[in-house]
Structures are given as structure tokens and as C-alpha cells.
DNA sequence: TATTGTTATACTCTATAACTATA
DNA sequence: TATAGTTATAGAGTATAACAATA
């Protein structure tokens, strides 16, 4: 090491160079804000994401949603059950074991409100970043989580 | 909207423009890899981060660590208790209610191993990104989670 | 009055194992 | 054999409320 290296700085912040740490902190803060934004609709972030998928692909099954969102089959069960019990979605049997999922009118209305809440949330979290930075961020994040499956 | 807009694409991926979604997916994958990387040392990511802070600031109290890491006071208790019971750290009373925390020799050795594991992990997760992108990423993530406190 | 450490408790999300029924 | 839905269960991290002891 050189004798003029700013040792105190490195010792003072052990996480300075650790992208994973800042990624985690940013994600926790973002999720907390999203949870708060969706709370008025009694929606958890995961439930909202499921709503988004069904709205975009009516008739999709819960296993397919799970694969799209990286939510395990077993964990999809209570999410779908909750949304169904609230009258947000309907199950339409496609064969003996699968059910196509579609939003009810109430579900479509809820979806619209969730979309608006998420848009506001995104603006709060990332609105201060310039578009070029946002693009780099999006591409990099995709590269990180898509690197495998 | 223009008549040549690729509607199918937007409908096909409702999360395309949602930075928070990709941030979350990247964070989950990164945390899973980190957990796996630290598992051989029987260390949870949060425990490792506490180790890092104490190594960088010997004598720090658990409340101070909590503030630095955004871990609630109440949640610091079992973490510190676990690390102490493992012989990783010692408590040195500074006044009647606070205890300065320092790593034991075993704790320092564990810290070194954790550092190496985290470095390998960071390389696995972000090594494919070029340095300029990593810098932009780090700055943007910081801006997101530091925007308030 | 404010802070430290603590206990108790609950929620969200993730993970695995195993079962039934169907393809 | 493989897949869909399901049940049960566990773990990690986060959150709040409240308390005693100390500053």
C-alpha cells in the first residue's frame, strides 16, 4: 500500500465498494415505499405483481405466473386464494388440473388503481435519476437477475 | 399512441419499465447468492454486515450499528447475542447501558473469511458489468436509499 | 426526557418436502 | 414420468409496542 492512501475512508465504510450492499438497501427502501403505496388497496407487492401478470395475459395459470415472477408454486397458492376470495379474479378450468385466471371487473378496477399507485411510487423512487441513468440501471439489473434463468 | 406501436410487447411484459421490479429481482438473486456464499461459515448476510461494521469501528455499540445498517434496535439483539455466543465478539461496557463491541481473534478470522467470500460473490454477481456501469450503479443505488436518511 | 438494551410478537417473502390428481 | 395445485413447515428480514435501567 502507498503511504498516502486514504485508509480512514476505506475503514470508515466497509460497504463503499460493495454493489450488493447498496442494491439491497435500495431494494428494501423501494419495497417499503411500494408496500405503503399499495396498502390503501390492501394489496401486497407480490399480489400486485400477480394482478399485473393476469391483466396482461388473461387465462394464464398460477404455475405459469410463478415461473414468470420467480415465485414458487407452493407460495402462489395463498396469493391466488386470497385474490379469489376478495373477488378480484376468477378461475376457469382449462383441464383437469389447471385453471386459467382472469380478472373480474372488480379486479380490473383494482388493477387500474394499483397501476397508478405504482407509477407514483416509481416516480418517487427513481424520478430524480436522469433517463440515461435509469436505462443503464434497468439493463444492469436485468442482466443480474436474468443471468441463469 | 401510434398505430405501429408494439402493443404486444408492452402487454407481454408489464414490468418492462418498472425499475423497482428489476431492482427487486436483482436483489433477491444477489441475496440468495450471498446467503449461499456465507453458509459455509454459518453466517447470515445481516450477521456478516454487522461483523464488517465492528471490524471497521471497534468499540461501536449495537444501537449505532443498527443505525448504520438500518437494522432496528430490537432486531439487533438476537444478532449480537448469536455472534457473542459463538465467541465472535466481546462486549465491553462503556457506561451503564451501552456496550462497546469488539471482535475476538476468532471473530477477526471469521471476518477475513467473510470478506473473501463477499469479494467472490460480488465478482459473480457484478463482474460482467464494466467498471463505468458499476460506478453509475453504485451512485444510483446510493441515491435511492439515501434519499431521506 | 431521551437513549440503550431487551422481550414479545407479527408480517412479508422465500424455501423445501411431500402428497393428490391429472396429463 | 412429468406437471398442477396443494398442505405443512421453516427461515431470514423487517416492523411495532412496550418495558426496565441508565443518561
Name the A residues in 90-149 with CB < 8 Å from any B CB: 118, 121-122, 125-126, 128-129, 133-134, 136-138, 140-145, 147
Q: What is the DSSP letter of A92?
A: E
Query: From first to last of its 149 residues, what are the pLDDT tens digits of chain A?
Result: 333 333 334 456 999 999 999 999 999 999 999 999 999 999 999 999 999 999 999 999 999 999 999 999 999 999 999 999 999 999 999 999 999 999 999 999 999 999 999 999 999 999 999 999 999 999 999 999 998 65
Q: Which helix (H) or strand (E) is B139 found in, with range? A: helix B131-146
Q: Which helix (H) or strand (E) is A90 found in, with range? A: strand A89-93
Digit-coded pLDDT (tens) for B73-117? 999 999 999 999 999 999 999 999 999 999 999 999 999 999 999
Measured CA to CA, the distance from residue B140 to residue B126 in angstroms comes to 15
Measured CA to CA, the distance from residue B18 to residue A56 in angstroms comes to 15
- CA A73, C1' D1: Å apart? 19
- pLDDT higher for A12 or B1? A12
Among A38, A124, A129, A143, residue whose Cα is nearest residue B22: A143
Measured CA to CA, the distance from residue B147 to residue A33 in angstroms comes to 12
Are the C-beta atoms of residues A83 and A50 closer than 8 Å to each other? yes
For residue A122, give the C-alpha cell.
416509481
Q: How far is A4 from chain B (nearest CA, A)?
A: 19
Compute the 3-state secondary structure of chain A and give helix, strand, coil in percent, each to the nearest 5.
65, 5, 25
pLDDT at B148: 64
pLDDT at A10: 44
Q: Which nucleotides in chain C lie closer than 7 A to a protein CB?
A: 3-9, 12-18, 21-23
Digit-coded pLDDT (tens) for B60-80? 999 999 999 999 999 999 999
Chain A contact probe: residue of B18, B33, B44, B75 with most A CBs at under 10 A: B18
Residues 45-84 of A with CB under 7 A from strand D: 61-64, 73-77, 80-81
Amino acid at each position: 500500500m502507498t503511504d498516502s492512501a486514504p485508509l480512514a475512508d476505506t475503514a470508515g465504510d466497509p460497504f463503499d465498494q460493495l454493489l450488493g450492499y447498496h442494491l439491497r438497501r435500495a431494494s428494501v427502501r423501494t419495497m417499503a415505499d411500494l408496500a405503503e403505496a399499495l396498502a390503501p388497496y390492501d394489496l401486497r407487492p407480490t399480489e400486485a405483481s400477480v394482478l399485473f401478470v393476469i391483466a396482461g395475459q388473461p387465462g394464464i395459470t398460477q404455475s405459469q405466473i410463478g415461473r414468470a415472477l420467480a415465485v414458487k408454486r407452493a407460495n402462489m397458492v395463498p396469493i391466488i386464494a386470497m385474490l379469489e376470495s376478495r373477488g378480484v379474479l376468477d378461475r376457469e378450468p382449462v383441464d383437469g388440473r389447471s385453471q386459467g385466471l382472469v380478472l373480474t371487473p372488480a379486479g380490473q378496477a383494482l388493477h387500474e388503481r394499483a397501476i397508478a399507485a405504482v407509477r407514483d411510487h416509481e416516480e418517487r423512487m427513481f424520478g430524480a435519476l436522469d433517463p440515461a441513468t435509469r436505462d443503464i440501471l434497468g439493463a444492469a439489473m436485468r442482466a443480474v437477475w436474468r443471468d441463469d434463468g
